[in-house]
Amino acid sequence: MILNMAASALQRCTIRSLFSTILLLLNLKYANPLHANGILMTTGDSASNWEFLTRFCFLSKVGRFEFELSYPQKFDLGYNAAQNILLYSDLQWPSVYPRPTLKRKKMEEKPLSCYDKESVLVPEYNQVINLTTRYRWSGCRLQTIAGEPWYTCKGGRTFASSRERWWYVVVSNCASEQGLYLNYSITMTNSLSNDTFFKHFSADEFYIIHETIGFLVAYTLLMVLSLYVACK
Ligand SMILES: *[C@@H]1O[C@H](CO)[C@@H](O)[C@H](O)[C@H]1NC(C)=O
Ligand SMILES: *[C@@H]1O[C@H](CO)[C@@H](O)[C@H](O)[C@H]1NC(C)=O
Ligand SMILES: *[C@@H]1O[C@H](CO)[C@@H](O)[C@H](O)[C@H]1NC(C)=O
């Protein structure tokens, strides 16, 4: 009788912990590391000079944004007309990207220009990264690639804010009539230490993992407890 109870408790709990282990593995698999790369190109008929790239949720004071970029120098049109990386916080984003359902009427009245959208930013907060050698914090160098002059830029930003916050990454060049071109590789992490466990997870995903591990621990405790009760 007692043995039977113990056996069935063990069975129930093994199934449960197996289930939560599977959940944990699934979560680890789907909590994507925040690495974005590709080629942004708006040349041709659909040429636009302000394009959203990606977004990321940074934790307070520990967010790190790193980039490796390259583009042909011909997309740099001189002073005040370089390609830029723009970093909008979640407080600024709604005023440049209003949700159509809420503000459709307003948008029909007067669509925001590229300059309007840039004017929301505060350059003193390093929210604009001019991707040229004229701006020393860009980490850009001129290189010859396949006989053409290209900028290659490598740099980063650490985010300091009083609370966790979404940041939106945009590429712009308001003066451009030939659109944009950017070969980008962006990595966003939430820890300055080499703790690989915390690295690479956007803050919202980051908590999902801890919760899941919490549940796994809870289930394990439950299993031990029910075995103890069953065997008593
Ligand atoms: C950087 O880009 C912004 C926006 O286009 C511009 O206002 C600013 O003058 C540029 N700074 C430099 C040093 O080119
Ligand atoms: C984009 O950049 C990556 C790495 O910097 C490079 O390997 C790749 O060839 C580039 N692609 C193009 C089309 O320039
Ligand atoms: C992280 O690791 C790199 C090399 O892998 C090392 O250069 C760096 O000092 C480490 N940073 C910390 C905070 O431990």
Q: What is the pLDDT of residues 112-139, one digit of tens each?
A: 888 999 999 988 888 899 999 988 888 8
Tokens standing for residue 21 = 């282990």
Ligand at shortest distance from the CA of 69 = 2
Q: Is the dihedral of CA 93, 98, 102, 103 positive or negative?
A: positive
Cβ–Cβ under 8 Å, residues 231 and 2: yes
Q: Hey, which of 62, 158, 189, 194 would you mutate to test ligand 3's pocket, going by the most ligand atoms within 8 Å of its Cβ?
A: 194
Ligand 1 atom 10 nearest Cα: 80
61 Rama class: left (phi>0) / alpha (psi -120 to 50) / beta? left
pLDDT for position 15: 60
pLDDT, tens digit, 9 for 90 and up, residues 153-209: 999 888 776 777 888 999 999 988 889 999 999 988 876 555 555 666 666 666 666
Distance 114 CA to ligand 1 centre (A): 13
For residue 214, the 8-state DSSP code is: H
pTM of the complete model: 0.70
Ligand at shortest distance from the CA of 196 = 3
Q: Please give the mean pLDDT across all residues of the chain.
A: 78
The pLDDT of 214-222, averaged and rounded, is: 82
The structure tokens 């405790």 sit at 221
Determine what percent of the chain is predicted with pLDDT higher than 90: 28
Helix (H, G, I), strand (E, B) or coil at 61: coil
pLDDT for position 31: 36
